[in-house]
Structure 1
Amino acid sequence: MTRLPAWTATLTWKAAVFITVMCCALAALLGTLVHVSVAGQTVKDSRGKALSRLDEVSRLYESGEPLPRFAGVDPAGLPESLRALALRGERGTMVTEFEGRPTMWAAAPADGRALAVRIDYTQSAATIDGLDRSILGSSVLAIGATLLVGAFSVTRITRRLHATAQVARRISAGDLDARVDDPRTKDPSRPQDEVATVSGALDTMASSLQRKLQTEQRFTADVAHELRTPLTGLSAAAELLPEGRPSEMVRERVRTMRALTEDLLEISRLDAGTEKVDLAVHDLGPLAERVVRASGTATEVRVVRDVRVETDRRRLERVLGNLVANAHKHGAPPVVLTVDGPVVTVRDHGPGFPEYLLSAGPQRFRTEGGGKGHGLGLTIAAGQAEVIGAELVFSDVRVEDEEGAGAEHGGGGALARLTLPTRPPVSADDADGTTVVGGTDGLSDTDDTDRTTVTGDTDGTHGAGGTDGTPGAGRTGA
């Protein structure tokens, strides 16, 4: 089935079609009424004139006087139906063609024959034809003018609707300062149409949402700040406890609380949108290897194609550290970190990401299956990736899609893909003395190498979290 173009679904197009159809219907109705009325009056006048002449000719015929040239008994060209009517003793009229011209006939009985007269109907027929052409031309002009005025009016409405929709999209993307600011909503005494009502409701909703989010952000930041001081004292006191299992449990809980507090502070800064990036050029492969070494996990690092990227090293290490920690905590070995140009993937072979994360992204304080963690690690990773201008995508790996090295482990698992902006190509020695081989994609001299490194504990034990020493977050939003 052939699908209609997308523009046919627009309000402007639908309004134009509606206006056109209604104008055509109205023009046809009015044109028909005028045509029938004028044509009926014209025929009536011509018929009356023809019958008057027929009366005069009848008197001449009865007195035996010669008949005029436009009258006669059984004249040539008289319609047979009108002749039969006269032979039945009745009078009648009819319009037909006679010698190539419209003619009005009138006939009456006369001694068993038909006495008839004719008058020229050309002028009357021309009047009706001219009227029809005038009606058609006027209808076309009226439809065109109405369509232009209607399209202009509808376009003004659709422009306001598009502006409202654009503001709604900006708000959904995180720009809580966006407002429609329809001038019709600023003056309460001014009548408002439906579009102004929708615009005002959207602005009110955005303001309310902004206030609530700002209140939540301030609350989160205040709570985290207030917790830092007692946690610092508690940590110092825990170190003074005698060695033993109870002391270890206290210290572990204190470390967990401190990590959670730092994560809350980081999220509050990300929510506030005040983060500043410290850009510098780094080799992506060595940076990824350092992150894995710092995590203390048995993670396999594969550098398929190294590249130089301009990014904030601390934030990038935070993102990769959280992804690696999440893969070990909620996935299954082996965990593989792959660098292929500006794309870094972290893959495990566990059950994969939960459905809600794939559809809506990481959600803070939500974990799956009762696992450890607070659901903040992936939330922080997504926020820091946005700050450095990278794209972070979460997906599951299907067994049938596996190729190469992935297939040898049985397939499946979770896959986090981080795509970084690359540095413009460099053809000269950079500041630290490393020579960059010229290329259009700005790749370093390791482009054609495939370097695979396994870092971390050889016994496959899983260490904690990211590069800042905090525990990794949960699969569902860590």
Structure 2
Amino acid sequence: MRRPRSGPGLRWKLTAAIAVVSALVALAMAVVVRNAARVDMMNNSRNLQDDRVQVASRNYESTHRLVFGARINDPRLPGGLRQAAERGQRATDIEYLSGEPIVWASIPMADNKILSISSRFVEPDAILDNLDGVLVVDCAAVVLAGSALSVLVGGSLSRRLRKAAVAARQVAEGAPDVRVRDAVGRRVRDETDELARAVDAMADALQDRLEAERRVTADIAHELRTPVTGLVAAAGLLPPGRPSELVQDRAQALRTLVEDLLEVSRLDSAAERADLQEIPLPDFVRRRVRGLAPDATLTVLREAWVHTDPRRLERVLGNLLSNAERHGRAPVEVELDGPLLRVRDHGPGYPRALLREGPSRFRTGSSDRSGQGHGLGLTIAAGQARVLGASLSFRNDDGAVAELLLPEAPGPDNGTA
């Protein structure tokens, strides 16, 4: 099963999202705090201006002298303050002239006079600069804290999802005892746990169906084995002749099909175990190719010793050679490159369904490669390769190419793998 290319993980996506949101929130809060501080400074300036106008009014009433730059009936007095004085109220206001804030304070006096004081609002730059520095540090701290928290939370979630993906991939590859919920852990009850339970339920249902199919296949093959064996024996007693040869050939083909079905059912049960040995691969393949496909050519690019079961390896090699000769075109080439065994023919190539999904019983692909056979040869080869711990892959390259990568063993000459 080909693993798709992965992009940035969930942890980093979540971290980036939380970092961006934290930065935006911190920036918004910084703007709000700075504006609130400026408004508070302006209110303090208005209160100071109100205190000054009261002191100036008392001083004018006692000495008839104006202090703090106070004026009587100033024509520039804003209309709101003039109306408040007419109602006998003391008031303050901020007027913007050319974008510059002017702080006003007024108080009504005797004889319909209005005493007022105005001054330009000067922002305390040092205080605002210090405030800006504090806000920058706070924003950075918020972003870092949010990112660290998201790394922890996202890392935990990402690890659980990756464990779930690994377990699901093992289930897809045929591991019967693997359960996704056990892989991700049962202590945390969240969406990951729900996903794991759903995948496990699906895996159990599929495994039950596959087991039922395997049992049906095995039962049918066992029931047919005895009568087919009798049929082959009876066909051998027929008098010589072309009809007898045809009956014997078909009876033998039926017997081979039954034996293949039994082998497939045993491989599907995952109960097969390999009798592993260390063997020199070139010598082994050379002898088998000479007996199984005398017309095939053998090329050894690099010699190697492998850790394998000779009987099962011979079965895989025989099925690959038989498939190449039956469905492909000559010449059939066998190539050894260390522990890699490659079988190539020059026919139409494997069907796309096989390349996409792998071998499947009773599916022979396109009509170009389905003149004979039941799709069991490559299925058995793939099953035996799994038992050997080898990797069997298929591709098309000016014909059909099957590659079997075997576990390499240290050679007796150099002691290296």
State the TM bucket, normalised to the shorter chain.
Answer: 0.7 to 0.9
Where does 1:112-191 land on structure 2 (aligned, <5 Å)? 141-181=141-181
Q: Number of matched residues?
A: 392
Q: Is the 8 A contact 1:185 1:197 kept in 2?
A: no
| Structure 2 equivalent of residue 320 of structure 1 | 317
Q: Is the 8 A contact 2:390 2:407 kept in 1?
A: yes
Amino acid at match of 2:178: A
Query: Per the alignment, in what secondary structure is the counterpart of residue 298 of structure 1?
Result: coil
Deviations 1:15-65 (A, max 9, x none): 223333333433444454454445434423431431442354256457654
Q: Is the 8 A contact 2:305 2:411 kept in 1?
A: no
Asked if 1:85 is matched to 2:71, the reply is: no
Instruction: Name which of structure 1's ranges 229-238 and 32-41 shifts more when overlaid on structure 2.
Output: 32-41
Deviations 1:107-128 (A, max 9, x none): 89xxxxx987589989988877
> How far does residue 152 in structure 1 lie from its aligned partner after superposition?
3.3
Q: Is the 8 A contact 2:391 2:406 kept in 1?
A: yes
Deviations 1:116-162 (A, max 9, x none): 75899899888777776666665555555454444433333333322
Asked if 1:426 is matched to 2:412, the reply is: yes
CA distance in 2, matches of 1:268, 1:342: 28
| Structure 1 equivalent of residue 48 of structure 2 | 49
| Structure 1 equivalent of residue 374 of structure 2 | 374
CA distance in 1, matches of 2:57, 2:19: 55
Deviations 1:444-463 (A, max 9, x none): xxxxxxxxxxxxxxxxxxxx
Asked if 1:295 is matched to 2:292, the reply is: yes
Q: Is the 8 A contact 1:71 1:115 kept in 2?
A: no
Query: Per the alignment, in what secondary structure is the counterpart of residue 282 of structure 1?
Result: strand
> How far does residue 392 in structure 1 lie from its aligned partner after superposition?
2.4
From the superposition, tell whether residues 44 and 304 of structure 1 become closer, same or farther in structure 2 (CA, over 3 Å).
Answer: closer
Q: Is the 8 A contact 1:345 1:416 kept in 2?
A: yes
CA distance in 1, matches of 2:335, 2:31: 78
Q: Is the 8 A contact 1:291 1:317 kept in 2?
A: yes
Asked if 1:232 is matched to 2:218, the reply is: no
From the superposition, tell whether residues 125 and 221 of structure 1 become closer, same or farther in structure 2 (CA, over 3 Å).
Answer: same
| Structure 1 equivalent of residue 86 of structure 2 | none
Q: Is the 8 A contact 1:103 1:122 kept in 2?
A: no
Q: Is the 8 A contact 2:15 2:150 kept in 1?
A: yes
Instruction: Name which of structure 1's ranges 121-130 and 318-327 shifts more when overlaid on structure 2.
Output: 121-130
| Structure 2 equivalent of residue 219 of structure 1 | 216
| Structure 2 equivalent of residue 18 of structure 1 | 17
> How far does residue 257 in structure 1 lie from its aligned partner after superposition?
0.9
CA distance in 2, matches of 1:356, 1:89: 86
CA distance in 2, matches of 1:27, 1:307: 64
Q: Is the 8 A contact 1:337 1:344 kept in 2?
A: yes
Task: Return the structure number with greater relative CO, CA threshold 8 A, min gap 6.
Answer: 1
Q: Is the 8 A contact 2:181 2:193 kept in 1?
A: no
CA distance in 2, matches of 1:350, 1:320: 18
Asked if 1:208 is matched to 2:199, the reply is: no
Deviations 1:213-249 (A, max 9, x none): 2222222222222221111111111122222222222
> How far does residue 325 in structure 1 lie from its aligned partner after superposition?
1.4
Q: Is the 8 A contact 1:185 1:200 kept in 2?
A: no
CA distance in 1, matches of 2:273, 2:326: 30
> How far does residue 267 in structure 1 lie from its aligned partner after superposition?
1.4
Query: Per the alignment, in what secondary structure is the counterpart of residue 337 of structure 1?
Result: strand
| Structure 2 equivalent of residue 111 of structure 1 | none
Identity %: 42
Instruction: Name which of structure 1's ranges 45-54 and 237-246 shifts more when overlaid on structure 2.
Output: 45-54
Q: Is the 8 A contact 1:285 1:339 kept in 2?
A: yes
Amino acid at match of 1:195: T
TM-score (ref. length: structure 2): 0.77
Q: Structure 2 residue aligned with 1:332, among 329, 332, 335? A: 329
From the superposition, tell whether residues 335 and 30 of structure 1 become closer, same or farther in structure 2 (CA, over 3 Å).
Answer: closer
| Structure 1 equivalent of residue 110 of structure 2 | none
CA distance in 2, matches of 1:160, 1:296: 50
CA distance in 2, matches of 1:198, 1:89: 67
From the superposition, tell whether residues 36 and 168 of structure 1 become closer, same or farther in structure 2 (CA, over 3 Å).
Answer: same
| Structure 2 equivalent of residue 79 of structure 1 | none
Q: Which has the higher helix share?
A: 2
CA distance in 1, matches of 2:278, 2:148: 58
Deviations 1:151-200 (A, max 9, x none): 4333333333222222111111211221133699989xxx9532222111
> How far does residue 260 in structure 1 lie from its aligned partner after superposition?
0.8
> How far does residue 256 in structure 1 lie from its aligned partner after superposition?
0.5
Q: Is the 8 A contact 1:235 1:251 kept in 2?
A: yes
Amino acid at match of 2:18: I
Asked if 1:279 is matched to 2:276, the reply is: yes
| Structure 1 equivalent of residue 351 of structure 2 | 354
CA distance in 1, matches of 2:235, 2:133: 101
Deviations 1:397-422 (A, max 9, x none): 2xxxxxxxxxxxxxx32222233333
Q: Is the 8 A contact 1:185 1:192 kept in 2?
A: no
Say what the alpha-carbon RMSD is for the aligned residues.
4.2
> How far does residue 322 in structure 1 lie from its aligned partner after superposition?
1.4
